Amino acid sequence: MATPVSVHAHAAPQGFIRKYIFSLDHKVIGIQYFFLALTAVFVGMFLSLLMRIHMIWPTAVLPIVGEIKPEQYLSLLTMHGTIMVFFVLTTAPQGGFGNYVLPIQIGAPDMAFPVLNMLSFWTTFVGFIVIIAAFFVTGGAPLHGWTGYPPLSAVQSAGPGEGLGADLWITSIAIFCIASLMGALNFITTTLDLRAKGMSLMRMPLTVWSWFITAILGLLAFGVLLSAGILLLLDRNMGTSFYVPLINVNGVMMGHKGGSPLLWQHLFWFFGHPEVYIAILPGMGVTSQVLSTFSRKPIFGYKAMVYAMLAIGFFGFMVWGHHMFMSGMSPYSAFAFSILTMCIGVPSAIKTFNWLGTMWKGHIRFDTPMLYAIGFVSLFVSGGLSGPFLAQPVLDIQLHDTYFVVGHFHLIMGVAAIFGIFAATYYWFPKMFGRMMNETWGRIHFFITLAGTYAIFMPMHYLGMAGQTRRYSQFTEVAYQTKLIPLQTFMTYAAIITIAAQFIFVINLFWSMFKGPKASDNPWEATTLEWTTTTPPPHDNFGGVTPVVHHGPYEYGVPGAPRDYVMQNDPATYAAH
């Protein structure tokens, strides 16, 4: 195991720009990623609000936005999906909290490549600006959905927004891929090379494991999406035909020949499915960390948790075809993809079992991070159990591209991952900003958000079973779907309330940043290394001292120990373990 070497050390910067803008400090970069994701999540959430309003009141004239047309509805859903998946669910857990916490948790002074780290943040930032620009160009944002299936996404005349807007969309994704590749490389190197003395792999906190595995997934997945995106750009602008066969759009022949629309789907989902785990794995890590800390009990089955995450990462690359059962792909391969998809449910079930086992016979403290971790478990179960329906090709015949799918992935990779982010925010906020967040408002925020998300997303399963197809801007054209409008109306009201409640979180966040009570070094009585240093940590994380690790990450309730927790750097040994 390598100890941090002086090569990585860099003096604390003095000027404002080097300290807060083009900073090399992983802590500042983590906070930058966090605020980028916070901005993006509000944009994405606002888009979903407009969508929900349009579905119920299609002729409503809204302030600033005006009346939303069907094609604009499709632009909203495309941008909502893309911004949420890339700039929120990938950015906040990994770029934000991973960046801030991982080096400290392994006892390192910084990431392995600080300049690369800065570069990956600013590249992500450029990607965000480019995608937002798509709203403001002629024709507006693309309407081809976040999955961007060609030929719709490859032919400029296929619809409004498929001109410059679509080029910006795919360019932004390509930029994001490059940024993520740089980030992934940095995370992997840091985890492998910069662990403090005594921090063996099997003593790493589960959060570190989750960021590490996420980085490996990112390294393998984003390269494929980048290539796929470049081919799409070529098809769009250079007359190539990777994805487009001979087609005729509205009576006009397109100049393409011989391409395969399914090629994009294979490449996209080869990235797209691991991406689901990129979004959710860090949430699993945080949930494990928080459940153990606030149950005052060691994590149940630490090794099983590690192996389960590795298995999820491994199988995650072999199941992409389950998005394509209805695509015209060989029905033979559906069998293989289906069985492998069911296999991935097994490690997911192990994790759930172990989370319940962790709380069992513990001393549960209901601080806000814990509430969100419990909420994560509940949402993970609810979102996960619709998986075995969709993983069966015969059932997918009925459910594919219906609201059942929308409900499934929103619960598990959307809201569960967001609950992971909330748990992480409430948990590490004191370390990051030196103050505590308000508990009362945190709890109110939690209860409204949990009830609200279920009210929005559970009915989607009912709609999907009844045959409600997704990505419909209106439900008035198909008779059986008009009967489902009351349920859609209910969901819109639930969404308005839940979205309103998110302002409680933002106000709490900014108010606490300046006015919250001062936080101690270890307010949660936790054991991992970030709680051994000062709040907030100094520039090199440990004030010139290199920590030495003597214990596993979740030593709570150790018999014979003076307190109910043993810090990882506590040199004393206790009889019990």
Partner 1 sequence: MGLALMVLIWLITLVSTYFFVARTWWLPAGASAAAAWIDGQFTLTFILMGIVFLAAQLGLGYIVWKYQQRPTSPPVLYSHGNTKLEIIWTFLTAVLFIGLNLMGAPVWASQRWDPPADDAVKVEVTGMQFAWYFRYPGPDGTYAKTNVKLMDPSAGGEAAVGLDTNDPSAKDDVVTGTMYLPVNREVDLSLRSVDVIHSFFVPSLRFKQDAVPGLNIHMHFKPTEIGEYEIACAELCGLGHYKMHGMVHVVSQEDFDKWLAAREAEKQ
In angstroms, give the least distance from the CB of 239 to partner 1.
Answer: 17
Q: How far apart are CA 360 and CA 346, in angstroms?
A: 21
Regarding 415 and contact with partner 1 (CB under 8 A), the answer is no
> What tokens does 74 get?
């499709």
Quote the CA–CA distance of 376 and 380 in Å, as a whole number. Answer: 6
Alpha helices by DSSP H, listed for 392-478, are 393-399, 403-409, 416-433, 439-465
Site size for partner 1 (CB under 8 A):
118
Residue from 70, 255, 538, 543 binding partner 1 (CB under 8 A):
70
563 in contact with partner 1 (CB under 8 A): no
Residues 485-544 touching partner 1, rule: CB under 8 A, are: 487
Query: Burial of 163 by CB count in 10 Å (0-12 exposed, 13-18 middle, 19+ buried)?
Result: middle
By the 8 A CB rule, do 359 and 554 touch?
Answer: no
Taking CB under 8 A as the binding criterion, the range among 211-219, 231-239, 468-476, 517-525 that sits at the site for partner 1 is: 468-476
Report the candidate in 163, 158, 170 with the shortest Cα–Cα distance to residue 131.
170
Q: From 118, 105, 91, select the one nearest 26 (Cα to Cα).
A: 118
Q: Please, what is the minimum distance in Å from the beta carbon of residue 395 to partner 1? A: 6
With binding defined as CB under 8 A, does residue 460 bind partner 1? no
Binding test (CB under 8 A) with partner 1, winner from 151, 420, 442, 516: 151
Specify the stretch interacting with partner 1 by CB under 8 A; choose among 14-22, 103-111, 129-137, 451-459. Answer: 451-459
For partner 1, the binding residues in 270-309 under the rule CB under 8 A are 295-304
Q: Token digits for 533?
A: 């240093």
Please, which residue, 126 or 458, has the CB nearer to partner 1? 458
Structure-block tokens of residue 295: 């149950």
Question: DSSP for 18-61?
Answer: IIIIS---HHHHHHHHHHHHHHHHHHHHHHHHHHHHHHH-TT-E
Distance in Å, CB of 557 to partner 1, minimum: 4
Task: Name the one range near partner 1 by CB under 8 A: 120-128, 203-211, 398-406, 541-549.
Answer: 398-406
> Is the bond leading into 151 cis (omega within 30 degrees of zero)?
yes
Structure tokens at 478: 């198909």
Calpha distance 301→309 (Å, rounded)? 12
Between the alpha carbon of residue 133 and those of residues 127, 129, 137, 232, the distances in Å are: 10, 6, 7, 19
Stretch that binds partner 1, among 10-18, 277-285, 422-430, 474-482 (CB under 8 A): 474-482
Residue in 39, 240, 392, 520 binding partner 1, rule: CB under 8 A: 392
Residue 86 contacts partner 1 per CB under 8 A: no
- Closest contact distance (angstroms) between CB of 183 and partner 1 is 30
Assess 263 for contact with partner 1 (CB under 8 A): no
- Closest CA relative to residue 280, chosen from 83, 424, 453, 416: 416
Q: With contact defined as beta carbons under 8 Å apart, do 501 and 452 qualify?
A: yes
Among 352, 425, 522, 527, binds partner 1 (CB under 8 A): 352
Give the x/- contact pattern for partner 1 in 154-193, rule: CB under 8 A: -x--xxx---------------------------------
- Chosen residue from 469, 489, 520, 546 binding partner 1 by CB under 8 A: 469
Among 12, 60, 62, 339, binds partner 1 (CB under 8 A): 339
Q: Contact region for partner 1 (CB under 8 A) — 132-140, 381-389, 413-421, 513-521? A: 381-389
Among 3, 5, 200, 328, binds partner 1 (CB under 8 A): 328
